[in-house]
Structure 1
Amino acid sequence: GALASLAGTLPIPEEIKLKDPKDFKIIGTSRKNVDAQKIVTGAPLFGLDYHREGMLIAMIEHPPAFGLKLKSLSADAAKAMPGIRDVFVINTQPEGFEPQWSDTNAFPELVAVVGNSTWEVLQAKRALNIEWEKVSDLEDTDSHNAGFAKLLSQPTDKPARKDGDPEAAFRRAAKVVERTYTSPFLAHNTMEPMNFFAHVTDEKAELVGPVQTPEFLRKSAASMLQMSEDQISIMMTRMGGGFGRRLYGHFGLEAAAISQKVKAPVKLVYTREDDMSQGTYRPPYQVTYRAALDANGNLIGWHVRGCGVGGSPLFADRFPAGAVDNYLTENHSLESNISTGAWRAPRSHFTAYAEQAFLDEVAEAAGKDPVEFRLGLFERALKNPVGKNNDYDAERYAGVLRLVKEKAGWGAEKPGVYRGVSAYYCHNSYVAQVVDLVMEKDQPKIQKVWCAVDCGIVVNPDAAKNQIEGGIVDGIGHAMYSTLDFHRGKAKQKNFDQYRLIRHGEAPAEIEVFFVENGIDPTGLGEPSLPPIPAALANAMYKATGKRLYNLPFVGDKKVLG
């Protein structure tokens, strides 16, 4: 603090000469995580570890379904239970509250239970007698799918992008390929459930916990507590997983509201069921792709129409925009009272799968190798691009595909090995992957994933490799197993006995990562390795089984990999 204050008094130089990358001594070398030993030995680092002498424990009860709100509360039995201090209603978005973008929350009005220990509070929470009332539709997965189907059958008033004459291209096509892809709602399911510490007095508010957006939580807390931002302090702990879930700091606001009410330090702790039924989910999406091929197998037309809860997953100016003369992208949105939010590689996590699985099928229909088919499109985008707003560098995109082709030995016969390829661009980085799949006892097993990455200068090679490997495993698990379904506004899956995640034996036996060395400024790395892997896996599974996969998850709760 003292050093920062002193630095703040220094004059700002008009020009700063940056160090030449060839002189870097730390950037580009592997460094161990400074907290690694504490993490593996269980030292207190995370929000759930945080303790303050005299603090109370709090839990919340939110409506059990989207479309319901609190009608009445009978808490006498719960209040009489051992260790319980109080039970009351809080509202984190009272009249006059000025919300930030991070205040996505379907349930601002909650019941809070406060007591001495987690176990005592949990028992009292289960003893609550609450009556809920309907305020909007109680939605179902079936109704969402029906809404998507209706939207996908309709053109939009104004396309997101249109190049050439797509309608004419499809009329004169020798062959048309059309496929629809789907994905469900998903929870974030961080290993560490939501939690936050708060101590609110008349003079100040002290908030401590795992959150990805402390600056916006501070603004929201000031508005809710009717304090100035100078009176709010936020200390971040280490997070037991984020994936976008902790962008939305409602749990920090809830802890602050509870502390203000009981006039004591409080730690709020969510159960897994609280978190999985709260919302801010990854939205469900559906898209329909159409490709027009001429008699020589050339791609002459491309049309994609997408929709999702709260918005379309499509990026109109990304590949293959710029590589096809006749191109059309249309976006639809389905309204819902189920709250959604960012999930690792927002929108890209689904679009990459659908686009790259479809491209594989189009290449097959054209009678071309899937890698060479893609490289041909990149060549077109590089030498004679269509349009001026193409949101990618075709040379770098093709570069990772060539690199993974070389490293994986694509095209060489590997008896008993079934291969799939995929490439995608997001967060300003380029990733291409090859999946090697084998069959063991009539079940597929991922033998190896080859991954080429262009993220500019690699700051910490070991940590970068870890990010890539983690994204690949995460992407495989969710593509294979995870789903969140709704009936009358309620999430059917509320814990891991119903919501399937990848297991150790189902992870790839080997992952090999290759980084492009080009000296370009660093770009994103925490997310770009996840989007392409579902398509690479789907394309490999097609080679192994002869069946194309159009719906996520591929197998749900069945055990397939490993």
Structure 2
Amino acid sequence: MKSQINTNFSRRNFLKTSVLASGGMLIGFNFLTACKAEAKMPVDIASLNFNDFNAFIKISDEGYVTIFSPNPEIGQGVKTSMPMIIAEELDVEWDKVNVAQAPLDTKKYSRQVAGGSQSIRQGWEALRQTGATAKQMLINAAAVKWNVDASTCTASKGVITNVNGDTLGYGDVVKEAAGLEVPENVKLKDVKDFTIIGKDVINVDIDKIITGKPLFGLDYKSEGMVYASVVRPPSFGKKLKSFDATKAKQVNGVLDVIRFGEKLKAIEKQASGFTRITDKVAVIATNTWAAMKGKKALIIEWEDEKLESTQDHDKNLTDILDGKNFNTRREDGNVKKAFASADKVIERTYHSPFLPHNCMEPMNFYADVTADKIHLVGPTQTPQWAAGLIAAAYKVKPEQINIEMTRMGGGFGRRLYNDFLLEATEVSSVIKKPVKVVFSREDDMTAGTYRPAIKYRIKAALKDGKVTGYHLKEAAINSNMYGLIPNFFPAGCIPNYKVDTGNYKSNITTGAWRAPYTNFLAFAEQSFFSELAQELNIDHTDLILELLQNVKGTSDKRIQYSGQRMEDTIKLVKQKANWGNASNGVYQGFAAYYSHNTHVAEVAEVVLKDGYPIIKKVTAVVDCGILVNPTGAKNQVEGGVLDGIGHAMYSDFSFKDGKPDFKNFDKYRLIRMQETPKVDVHFVQNDKKPTGLGEPGLPPAGGAIANAIHAALGKRLYSQPFVNELKKSSVLG
């Protein structure tokens, strides 16, 4: 890894990263930390005399530092890991760093988004440059004080030392450093010299989380705030006709009942697709219980609205697969010829249902709309997008919108879509009060943005013991996120290769759900390759490894994955899982997949209890490059694997005449504590730049357990949730 880089800073650009103020210096693209050598983080830092520089940092007169983290924290750990990168290159001790959440600030920060498992990957270089540049400027300031050459000085743990052994703390030279020229070139650490990156660091919010301190959107309160519970159409295909609020207003604590929706309609083109553009009713109350109780007392009349389609999605998806209206996303060789000359052709169809997100913390947001500003507080993965929608709807300048981000009790893609934020804003604008909109669990499940139902049809040509042709056809609801999937495995591995996609339009709102598309496609493809391997009488892992040889060293720039890195993960998971040598009564299944720039291979182990398949263990090997925080990384992979298993095995969701079949967890099935297997996580050790981790562990899980269940029962699974297929075959009775 290069240890010297050109930062290409101009004095104008550096105004974002260096500011002289009373008592301190701001350095950093996203963060700054600077402290005296002898400083110890006090218990109550709020009692200290801090100097505010801007949105990035505060530094106290004593040298204590608060780093403001700009990216939304949804449990993926960026509020801990991103400051770690800065602290590493700046050379300060981690126990002298305090971290806080920054608000949306498009002038000072870039990509304030939580999505796509990209925060660390996108910020890696900039964050390292930030820390290294800050350290060099502090060293330069100390050198000026000592009247020595800066090249003879070193810095470590917040202390600068010269050749004579003299020392200065960072806090001692922070004022002088701010006035110096920004260095054109700074030296980055060698990976072997890291002292913070690669070490286990506890989540910076953990003490507040376990002691119940206010961190989440549901915790936020303000003087004079009221609560709102919103009534939305009971099904896709209905709109509000009229309502009677007489009984609702008699509920103790209910203040008012309003009709709203005009502002949503004003931005229909920007907002449609992730929120229902229709009039809604809000019950305003002094507390959430009264608001929700008042909502149940409303008498509402609904009427039909024109919809493109809300019915029989399964049949319509099949019709698409059987039809000819497809968009070809990639085509190599001559697929038609490969199938015509094949010794055998294998074709299978796989189906996944809609799924809600079911975040532990239901959707909520606080809004206070006044003549001068719009103040918004709550959990959102896309604050900048939300600000743009609000600015368009209310015709205000961006600087009049203040969005504060709270920690989120889960996101999984649901909080990319800001319908709850838009609702809170409009309700506040109507009632002229600060308000918090809070979803019930029923609201959360029935007024969602769902994972689209999808069908895949995969067809392979076999000739002379080889896979010579491959054709993947996708039929999806509201499919608009094809991304790079046509260039994932097995693209480049099979000479005749084709990917077609078809779209079925529905008014049911759909969108990103953890590891979009790949969350199901990985199961379909890896189940299919397991079946191909069985047909060819070759081990599943050996078939994949053999195919990967065709893409290693490719010059095809469309290919997104690395044949070598995927091979390395597969070989390591075989070793760690003792692949092919399981104990008696233990059945193994394998799957490997690349998504979000990360290569993952997993082996699931299943045992039978009274003929039922019980998942006992999953071994996961991940190549995500350099591990910033191993503890956080392991947690992400474990969570992704369990999420993948739970939804593949148990979760089902459907609509009848546009109305969701399930409203709460009494009928909607999630994985239960006793059903969670042990997850054994290993990482490929290398010095490559970090890649995504929040999502890549999920996609292979479904394929691994499906293939393990086949090994145990001899039954192939083609639809999720698997429990439904097992019941149909009388395996589960």
2:646 is equivalent to residue 477 of structure 1: yes
- Correspondence for 1:90 among 221, 246, 260: 260
Partner residue of 2:711? Answer: 543
Q: Measure how far apart 1:389 and its partner are.
A: 2.0
**Of 348, 352, 357, which aligns to 2:527?**
357
Asked if 2 retains the 8 angstrom alpha-carbon contact of 1:200 and 1:263, the reply is yes
For 1:553 and 1:370, locate their aligned partners in 2 and report how far apart those are by CA, in whole Å: 23
Tell me, what secondary structure is at the counterpart of 1:240?
A: coil
Conservation of the 8 A alpha-carbon contact between 2:217 and 2:378: yes
Q: Larger Cα Rg: Structure 1 or Structure 2?
A: 2
For residue 341 of structure 1, report the CA deviation from its aligned partner. 1.1
**Conserved? CA contact 1:166–1:302, under 8 Å:** yes
Report the CA distance between 1:98 and its aligned residue: 7.5
* SS of structure 1 residue aligned to 2:197: coil
Percent identity, aligned pairs only?
47
Contact 1:500 1:556 in 2 (8 A): no
Q: 1:146-203 deviations in whole A, cap 9, x for unaligned?
A: 1111111123465211111111111111111110000000000001101111122211
Measure how far apart 1:269 and its partner are. 0.7
- Do the aligned partners of residues 320 and 103 (structure 1) sit closer, same or farther apart at CA in structure 2, a change above 3 Å counting? closer
Match of 1:207 in 2: 376
Structure 1 portions without partners, runs of 5+: none
Paired position in structure 1 for 2:284:
114
Aligned to 1:126: 296
Residue 520 (structure 1) aligned with residue 674 (structure 2): no
Verify the 8 A CA contact 2:373 2:401 in the aligned structure 1.
yes
- Which residue in the other structure is 1:310 paired with? 478
Query: Aligned-pair distance for 1:281?
Result: 0.5
Q: CA deviation at 1:242?
A: 0.5
TM superposition shift of 1:15: 4.2
Q: 2: CA distance between counterparts of 1:239 and 1:108?
A: 27
The answer to whether structure 1 residue 399 and structure 2 residue 568 are counterparts is: yes
Q: 1:151 to 1:167 in 2, by over 3 A?
A: same
Pairing 1:121-160 to 2, within 5 Å after superposition? 121-137=291-307, 139=309, 143-156=312-325, 158-160=327-329
CA 1:108–1:135 in 2, change beyond 3 Å: closer, same or farther? closer
- Is contact 1:321-1:386 (8 Å) kept? no
Distance 1:12 1:427, change over 3 A: farther
* 1:2 corresponds to: 52
Of 401, 409, 422, the match for 2:578: 409
Alignment correspondent of 1:432: 601
Q: Distance in 2 between matches of 1:472 and 1:92?
A: 42
Which amino acid in the other structure matches residue 247 of structure 2? A
Which runs of structure 1 show a deviation greater than 6 angstroms over 4 or more consecutive aligned residues? Answer: 5-12, 557-561
Matched, 1:443 2:612: yes
SS in 2 for 1:381: coil
Q: How far 1:419 moved relative to its partner?
A: 0.3
How many Å separate the matches in 2 of 1:270 and 1:415?
49
Are residues 1:286 and 2:336 paired? no
Distance 1:157 1:338, change over 3 A: closer
Q: Larger deviation: 93-102 or 364-373? A: 93-102
Cα pair distance change 1:107/1:500, threshold 3 Å: farther
Q: How far apart are 1:225 and its partner, in Å?
A: 2.9
Match of 1:188 among 345, 350, 357: 357
- In structure 2, the residue corresponding to 1:160 is in which secondary structure? strand
TM-score by length of 2: 0.73
Distance 1:486 1:65 in 2: 9
Structure 1 equivalent of residue 40 of structure 2:
none
Q: Aligned in 2, Cα 1:5/1:249: closer, same or farther, shift over 3 Å?
A: closer
Cα 1:492/1:98, change in 2 over 3 Å: closer
Question: Does the C-alpha gap of structure 1 residues 157 and 53 become closer, same or farther in structure 2, counting only changes over 3 Å?
Answer: closer
Tell me what 1:301 maps to.
469
Q: Quote the residue 2:102 is aligned against.
A: none
| Separation of aligned partners in 2, 1:544 and 1:157 | 37
Q: Is the 8 A contact 1:306 1:312 kept in 2?
A: no
- The structure, 1 or 2, with the larger RCO (C-alpha pairs under 8 Å, 6+ apart) is 1
Tell me the CA shift for residue 231 of structure 1: 1.3
Following the alignment from structure 2 to structure 1, what is the Cα–Cα distance between the partners of residues 555 and 324? 23
1:343: which partner in 2? 513
- Give structure 2 stretches of 5+ with no counterpart: 1-50, 58-107, 109-177
Moved more, 354-363 or 12-21: 12-21
Could you tell me which of 354, 378, 382 is aligned with 2:552? Answer: 382
8 Å contact kept, 1:102–1:247 = no
Cα pair 2:236 2:310 within 8 Å, conserved:
no
Whether the 8 Å CA contact 1:255–1:267 is kept in 2: the answer is: yes
- From 445, 457, 471, the equivalent of 2:626 is 457
SS at structure 1 position matched to 2:499: strand
* Paired residues for 1:171-320 under 5 Å: 171-294=340-463, 296-311=464-479, 315-320=485-490
Alignment-derived partner of residue 162 in structure 1: 331
Instruction: Please say if residues 272 and 494 of structure 1, whose CA atoms lie closer than 8 Å, have aligned partners that are also in contact.
Output: yes
1:55 maps to 225
Decide which moves more: 60-69 or 180-189.
Answer: 60-69
User: Contact 2:350/2:456 (CA < 8 Å) preserved in 1?
Assistant: yes
Q: How much does 1:388 deviate?
A: 4.8
Are the aligned partners of 1:500 and 1:557 in contact in 2 as well (CA < 8 Å)? no
Closer/same/farther in 2, CA of residues 93 and 448 from structure 1, 3 Å limit: same
The whole-number CA distance in structure 1 between the counterparts of 2:442 and 2:249 is 22
Q: 1:465, 1:309 → 2: CA distance?
A: 33
Task: Measure, in 2, the Cα distance between the counterparts of 1:543 and 1:213.
Answer: 43
Q: Is the 8 A contact 1:449 1:512 kept in 2?
A: yes
Matched residue, 2:655: 486
Corresponding residue for residue 419 of structure 1:
588
Alignment RMSD: 2.3
- Count of aligned residue pairs for this structure pair: 557
Partner of 2:206: 36
Deviation of the 1:100 alpha carbon? 4.7
